[in-house]
Amino acid sequence: MDGVITADKAQNRADWKVGVDIGGTFIDFCALEANSGRLASLKVLTTPEDPGAELMTGLTLLAEREGFDPAHMTRFVHGTTVGINTIIQRKGAPLALFTNAGFEDVIELARLRMPEMYSLFCSRPDPLISRDMVFGIPVRMRADGSESQAPDMAVVASAVAAAKANGAQGIIVSFLHSWRNAAQEAAVKATIARLAPDLFVFSSAEVWPVIREYERSSTAILNGYVHPRVSGYLTALEERLKDRGVPARPMLTKSNGGLMNAAEGKHACVNMLLSGTASGVIGASWLARQAGEDKILTLDIGGTSADFALIIDGEPQFGTGELIGEFPLHIPSVSVSSIGVGGGSIASVDAQGVLRVGPESAGSTPGPACYGRGGERATVTDAMVVCGWLGHSEMAYGQLRIDTGLAHRGVGELAARLDRPVEQTAQAILDIAVSEMFVEVEKLASRTGVDLRDFTLMPFGGGGPMLGAFLARELGMKRVMAPRRPGVVSALGGLVADLRGDFIRTIFSPLSSMSLAGIREVFEALAREGRDWLAAQRHDGEAELNLSCDMRYVGQSYEIEVALSPEWLTDGNAAAIAQAFQLTHQQLYDFHDPDGEIELVNVRLSAVGAGPKLSFLETDEIRAAAVPARRLPVYTGAGVEIVDLHDRQALVPGSTFHGPAVVVQEDTTFAIPAGAQARVDRHLNLLLTFPE
């Protein structure tokens, strides 16, 4: 494969750095040999029945194709869907919840919000812990951290016995106000460990010590629910890598876009639930900075879903409350919006005769009909084949061959039910998929207050380039940027990611020059915690400490996160902090109250240890019209057109052509609609522009 990256040089032997991301259909590999700057990539079909087996298959194929030697691997970064799939499939550990007596309904009450507020038939998801596994313990901590009632250990002992009798494998301990004082949770946890050493126990304060009992409890429950499967998976991963002679300690991508070691991942499981989607955005951010793009809308389409995120000034956006299946995740994570439309999404006709797409997916097994792996139902990928955009080269690095006959058969069954020609039915499937993505992206733009016409769309994943240009055209976006290897951007994200740990302390403090001394003490304590965490990750470089606060006007019931400069605390500059809050509030809600009293709720700190320094090799552009490999018929909606087919490998910096066209490469296929002007830049990105 072409070498496209330079890196810090090793001295003697080969120095391989490998990023891996497991999706619903494929596992992606991105391997860099640091001495030569050579970048290798690969896709391997997943094995849902034996998660992790495909990893060994991929390493073997890399060794055969690229001369890759696992013994020379100095960095191994891994993103996995084991945790999130466990929650979506509800195959986690049976848990018991120990909470305050009288508060046994905390996870059922949640926030009293319905998933679909205008639906009369909508219902909230069943909790991950059933009501009969929730035990109230007579115990109470006051809001100021003083103890009102000590835990009754006799009741704790009875609850432990009942939990074990009901089949619990683990216990979550979550008491009121443990964010202020976690002593009661710690005491009960120690008692449980003594009475039932065969059960694992997590307390809410150790997982995420934030105010509000529902958010703190639900985060701890998610952590415990996936713990056995994640821990078992990571243990098996370490053993497999050791058996293959890999010296590098495995690192894991986190929901916040950073990394942690596998040992921490075994107990801090909640931090890696969104690892795959987050690392894709991190990879896209790195590519955007290399290309000088400051406003990017990412479109990551895999076999099951389409994920969207905004990158502003080269940096991803962060938030809390991202959904893990049906449940909100309250730790910091890269802000990603998802919809159940992917390449493997199944098209169907409902009882009313309406054509629908997704959210059910064919996955990797049996996969779309055109894969020839047993799938018979039409998918988005099959519709692309029927229209002629797909199926003109081998897919997934030669692992798949497209069977156009099977694709026509699958779509043809739907066409017969709809009494429409098969090509029109396939186009309708694609139009529905694009329209559903359009709605989700418009929601994202509305929430964040951005004008997408100012952004460039970056499609990646195996399916992103297939539909990305069509979505950009519908959104009125003027530019599309497809990276050189869009199919493995998530794996690249793990390769270039930094170590990042997030820490939080809840305070209730009015914003004034008098209160800043106490806030500064909290910041200094978090800074020590952050540096210690980086040291535990074996980071020996500089620590970047990013400070922010959750702030609100007094009387508001919600907060907004505001980035702060530590110097403002040191200098006692309350006015600068107030101004930062007012500007952020104005940006989000289009108003602010200059005379309003401001309250600080949480102090947040992220400790970042820089990852390896990588950069793309640049080549001068020489403008010249690209010569197509051949021409082929494609159904574009208006009819069949004869379009150019280009081989991505043959496109050099400066190559130009126009749509409609098809660009084929090892990891994906790029469908380019009519009216688009295409150019290859000096980084080998393929840039599309749409005329006004």
| Average per-residue pLDDT for the chain | 89
Whole-number pLDDT of residue 495? 87
Q: How confident is the model at residue 395 (pLDDT cuts 50, 70, 90)?
A: confident
Q: Which amino acid is at 20?
A: V
Q: How confident is the model at residue 2 (pLDDT cuts 50, 70, 90)?
A: low
Higher-pLDDT residue of 14 and 450 is 450
The span from the first CA to the last CA of the chain, in angstroms, equals 37
Q: Which residue matches tokens 């009875």?
A: 158
Element containing residue 430 per DSSP (H, E): helix 422-448
The number of domains in the chain is 4
Note whether residue 390 is domain-resident.
Answer: no
Q: Smallest Cα–Cα separation from 554: which of 502, 520, 599? A: 599
Query: Does 18 share its domain with 135?
Result: no
Q: Which residue matches tokens 């939990």?
A: 163
Q: How confident is the model at residue 506 (pLDDT cuts 50, 70, 90)?
A: very high
Q: What phi and psi, each to the nearest 5 degrees, are found at residue 99?
A: -135, 180
- C-alpha pair distances (Å), 375 with each of 363, 372, 380, 403, 625: 10, 7, 13, 11, 40
175-179, 548-552, 610-614, range with the lowest pLDDT = 610-614
Neighbours of 198 (CB within 10 A): 7
Distance CA 530, CA 533 (A): 5
Six-digit token string for 40: 């290798």
Q: Please, which residues have CB within 8 angstroms of residue 291's CB and are 6 or more apart in sequence?
A: 481, 681, 683, 685
In this structure, are residues 10 and 35 in contact, taking their beta carbons and an 8 Å threshold?
yes
CATH of the domain at 540: 3.30.1490
Query: Over 60: is that where the pLDDT of 91 sits?
Result: yes
Whole-number pLDDT of residue 6? 53
Note whether residue 330 is domain-resident.
Answer: no
Distance CA 177, CA 405 (A): 63
What are 427-464's pLDDT values in tens digits?
999 999 999 999 999 988 888 888 999 999 999 988 99
109-123, 476-490, 581-595, range with the lowest pLDDT = 109-123
pTM: 0.86
What are 612-667's pLDDT values in tens digits?
777 666 777 788 899 999 999 999 988 999 999 999 999 999 999 998 999 999 88
Whole-number pLDDT of residue 10? 43
What are 396-419's pLDDT values in tens digits?
676 778 899 999 999 999 999 999
Six-digit token string for 265: 């991942």
Of 610, 642, 664, the position where a domain reaches its end is: 610
Distance CA 111, CA 641 (A): 53
Whole-number pLDDT of residue 22? 80
Note whether residue 178 is domain-resident.
Answer: yes
Query: Does 577 share its domain with 666?
Result: no
Whole-number pLDDT of residue 47? 73
Q: Smallest Cα–Cα separation from 273: which of 229, 303, 212? A: 229
Element containing residue 219 per DSSP (H, E): helix 213-243
In this structure, are residues 341 and 433 in contact, taking their beta carbons and an 8 Å threshold?
yes
Q: Smallest Cα–Cα separation from 441: which of 455, 452, 430, 429? A: 452
Query: Over 50: is that where the pLDDT of 1 sits?
Result: no
Whole-number pLDDT of residue 153? 95
Higher-pLDDT residue of 36 and 287 is 287
Q: Which residue matches tokens 């990852």?
A: 611
Distance CA 168, CA 170 (A): 6
Query: Over 90: is that where the pLDDT of 355 sits?
Result: yes
Note whether residue 424 is domain-resident.
Answer: no
92-106, 503-517, 661-675, range with the lowest pLDDT = 503-517
Query: Does 63 share its domain with 195?
Result: no
Q: Which domain holds residue 185?
A: 87-230
Of 177, 199, 230, the position where a domain reaches its end is: 230
User: How much is the average pLDDT of 22-49?
Assistant: 79
Q: Smallest Cα–Cα separation from 95: which of 103, 107, 85, 84? A: 107
Query: Does 136 share its domain with 237?
Result: no
User: How much is the average pLDDT of 663-681?
Assistant: 93
Q: Smallest Cα–Cα separation from 6: which of 683, 691, 687? A: 683
Mode of pairing for the β-strands spanning 479-482 and 456-460: parallel
Query: Over 60: is that where the pLDDT of 8 sits?
Result: no
Whole-number pLDDT of residue 418? 94
Q: Please, which residues have CB within 8 angstroms of residue 88's CB and are 6 or more apart in sequence?
A: 324, 325
- C-alpha pair distances (Å), 98 with each of 8, 93, 209, 220, 524: 51, 16, 16, 12, 33
36-40, 193-197, 355-359, 501-505, range with the lowest pLDDT = 36-40
Query: Does 98 share its domain with 75?
Result: no
Neighbours of 94 (CB within 10 A): 16
Query: Does 104 share its domain with 201?
Result: yes
DSSP 535-599: HHTT--S-EEEEEEEEEEETT-S--EEEEE-HHHHHTT-HHHHHHHHHHHHHHHHS---TT--EE
What are 177-188's pLDDT values in tens digits?
999 999 999 999
Q: Smallest Cα–Cα separation from 494: which of 179, 171, 235, 277? A: 277
Note whether residue 294 is domain-resident.
Answer: no
Helix, strand or coil for residue 72?
helix
Note whether residue 391 is domain-resident.
Answer: no
Q: Smallest Cα–Cα separation from 361: which of 341, 376, 339? A: 341
In this structure, are residues 396 and 26 in contact, taking their beta carbons and an 8 Å threshold?
yes
Query: Does 16 share its domain with 48?
Result: yes
Note whether residue 64 is domain-resident.
Answer: yes
Query: Does 224 share its domain with 235?
Result: no
Distance CA 226, CA 270 (A): 8
Neighbours of 656 (CB within 10 A): 15
Query: Over 70: is that where the pLDDT of 204 sits?
Result: yes
Distance CA 679, CA 686 (A): 6
Q: Which residues of 17-27 are buried (b: 16+ CB within 10 A; e: fewer)?
A: bbbbbbbbbbb
Question: Please, what is the Cα angle at 296 between 290 and 302, to 5 degrees?
Answer: 100
Distance CA 458, CA 482 (A): 6
Query: Does 542 share its domain with 646?
Result: no
In this structure, are residues 488 and 465 in contact, taking their beta carbons and an 8 Å threshold?
no
In this structure, are residues 361 and 375 in contact, taking their beta carbons and an 8 Å threshold?
no
Distance CA 599, CA 177 (A): 19
- C-alpha pair distances (Å), 385 with each of 133, 242, 401, 429: 50, 42, 12, 12
Element containing residue 234 per DSSP (H, E): helix 213-243
Question: Please, what is the Cα angle at 63 between 60 and 66, to 5 degrees?
Answer: 140
CATH of the domain at 131: 3.40.50
Q: Smallest Cα–Cα separation from 132: which of 111, 112, 100, 162? A: 162
What are 376-386's pLDDT values in tens digits?
999 999 999 99
Higher-pLDDT residue of 121 and 389 is 389
Query: Does 226 share its domain with 95?
Result: yes
Query: Over 90: is that where the pLDDT of 31 sits?
Result: no
Query: Does 508 share its domain with 596?
Result: yes
Whole-number pLDDT of residue 396? 67
Of 212, 247, 272, the position where a domain reaches its end is: 272
Query: Does 225 share its domain with 92?
Result: yes
123-137, 216-230, 471-485, 604-618, range with the lowest pLDDT = 604-618
Burial class (CB in 10 A: 0-12, 13-18, 19+), 555: exposed
Note whether residue 100 is domain-resident.
Answer: yes
In this structure, are residues 420 and 428 in contact, taking their beta carbons and an 8 Å threshold?
yes
In this structure, are residues 498 and 287 in contact, taking their beta carbons and an 8 Å threshold?
no
Query: Over 60: is that where the pLDDT of 7 sits?
Result: no
CATH of the domain at 24: 3.30.420.40
Distance CA 473, CA 692 (A): 11
Tell me what percent of the residues of the chain surpass a pLDDT of 90: 57
Distance CA 243, CA 263 (A): 18
Tell me what percent of the residues of the chain surpass a pLDDT of 70: 96
